[in-house]
Amino acid sequence: QKEVEQNSGPLSVPEGAIASLNCTYSDRGSQSFFWYRQYSGKSPELIMFIYSNGDKEDGRFTAQLNKASQYVSLLIRDSQPSDSATYLCAVNVGFGDGTTLTVKP
């Protein structure tokens, strides 16, 4: 079992919709959780981090953490074509394989 699991996708949503990305992890003692966005051929860039249970909002992005369920999610509201990318979930320094999101105009 991989330490960090993500739905491989691809995930396709229409412009303006909410995109929901999910991630589970195996190490119950994990303390830091991150979401990175990676455009094709580019390096990952940080979009959200969360350390405590609950929700954290930043603009159109909301990260949700549930340590009891070992579950992290990322919601993207009002999705735009420019959000089309691969989204990587990271727990401590371990990464999932990413979920590719396509936002269709």
Partner 1 sequence: SQTIHQWPATLVQPVGSPLSLECTVEGTSNPNLYWYRQAAGRGLQLLFYSVGIGQISSEVPQNLSASRPQDRQFILSSKKLLLSDSGFYLCAWTLGPLNEQFFGPGTRLTVL
Quote the least distance from Cβ 16 to partner 1, whole Å: 28
Considering only residues 22, 56, 97, 102, which one is a binding residue for partner 1 as defined by CB under 8 A? Answer: 97
Give the per-residue contact string, 11-50, with partner 1 (x = CB under 8 A; - = no). Answer: --------------------xx-x-------xxxxx--x-
Phi, psi of 51 (to 5 degrees): -120, -25
CA distances (Å), 59 to each of 15, 27, 78, 81, in order? 17, 29, 10, 16
Which of 64, 65, 66 is closest to 76 using CA atoms? 64
Residues within the interface to partner 1 (CB under 8 A): 4, 6, 31-32, 34, 42-46, 49, 51, 88, 90, 92-98
